Structure 1
Amino acid sequence: MQIHELKLKTKRQKSRRVGRGGKRGTYSGRGIKGQRARTGKRLKLKRIGSGLIRHLPKLGGFKSIYPKPAVVNLFRLEKSFSSGEKIAPESLAAKGIIKNGRLAVKILSKGEITKKFIIEKCAVSAKAKEKIEKAGGTIKESIKQINN
């Protein structure tokens, strides 16, 4: 047996030529003129681009490269910690309040507080700071600003 004697298992199908005789009529489903009516390869983006572009939203501005801080409210601290305990990102992660102890944390003022807390390595909002100090707590090593 030689190479020229080998036969394919299935017959090779011819590609259908649109517009050569057959049942499609004068313009063969191509319209009258324009890029789609011409022969040869067409740019796909030109063909579907306008529809694709119309379906995508207009996104302005930019996304910040900085990670957003984990937000913790005072009512959550009141519920999870006892009086006199140190609150830092590591202790918040240990209690399961935030996912990762290395994340930046910002404490916000939602809820009331009665216990004395020692807060370290956390950004604190102005109202939250006021409530913590009113309850007798202290804020050490406060992060002044978190990029968000």
Structure 2
Amino acid sequence: MQVHELKKPKHLKSKRRVGRGGKRGTYSGKGMKGQKSRAGKNIRPQIWDYIFRTPKLSGPTAKLGDAGQRVKKQGTIKDIYRVILNMDELNNAVKEGDIVNVDYLLKNGLVRKYKGMKPRVKLLSKGKLTKRITVERLELSKGAKEQIEKIKGTVK
């Protein structure tokens, strides 16, 4: 027996460096084969599946490609907040010779602002109008316009 053939005592031997990291033995907690066990694993989050499935409201974005063009843009707040007034409601609130516009309706409490914005108001012909008025910058149905002109009111 020679010096190079001598074995170290067990307590002086260095441990086997297998796997490195994870403190879980041979494969470091990564299992055996597959994408997740490789270095630099790059697996997208599962929530992306749901993100790609939902239609977007605006144009395309860098990551989503044409997913953004599946649904057209919805209407603006101006389109959403539209108030419909009938002639009988208007008849109860106005006096003879009044000039009716959005500001007048806001002042008399027939309509309200929405998020600080004035609403779009449309007059319909339900009910009867008995007072002569002037209507400015309001949308009118055909019947409502006829009613106003019939009692010698004006539409601007």
CA-atom RMSD in angstroms: 3.7
Asked whether the equivalents of residues 70 and 103 of structure 1 are also in contact (C-alpha less than 8 Å), the reply is no
Unpaired segments ≥5 residues, structure 1: 1-15, 141-148
Cα-to-partner distance string for 1:112-135 (whole Å, 9 max, x where unaligned): 122222111223232321222234
Cα-to-partner distance string for 1:60-79 (whole Å, 9 max, x where unaligned): 12245683364232233123
Q: Which amino acid aligns with 1:128?
A: A
When normalised by structure 2's length, the TM-score is 0.53
Map 1:3-42 onto structure 2 (within 5 A): 17=22, 20-21=24-25, 27=31, 33-34=34-35, 36-40=36-40, 42=42
TM-aligned CA deviation for residue 38 of structure 1: 3.6
TM-aligned CA deviation for residue 91 of structure 1: 0.7
Q: Does 1:72 find its partner at 2:101?
A: no
Unpaired segments ≥5 residues, structure 2: 1-20, 57-69
Cα distance in 2, alignment partners of residues 98 and 83 from structure 1: 20
Inter-CA distance 51–21: structure 2 relative to 1 (3 Å threshold):
farther
Instruction: Give the corresponding residue for 1:111.
Output: 126
Structure showing greater radius of gyration is 2
Instruction: Give the corresponding residue for 1:12.
Output: none
Identical positions, percent: 24
Cα distance in 2, alignment partners of residues 127 and 103 from structure 1: 24
Instruction: Give the corresponding residue for 1:121.
Output: 137
- SS in structure 2 at match of 1:133: helix
Map 1:78-93 onto structure 2 (within 5 A): 78-93=91-106
User: How many equivalent residue pairs?
Assistant: 117
Q: Where do 4+ consecutive residues of structure 1 move more than 6 Å?
A: none
When normalised by structure 1's length, the TM-score is 0.55
Instruction: Give the corresponding residue for 1:52.
Output: 51
Cα distance in 2, alignment partners of residues 137 and 73 from structure 1: 17
- Specify which structure has the bigger relative contact order, considering alpha-carbon pairs within 8 angstroms and separated by 6 or more residues: 1
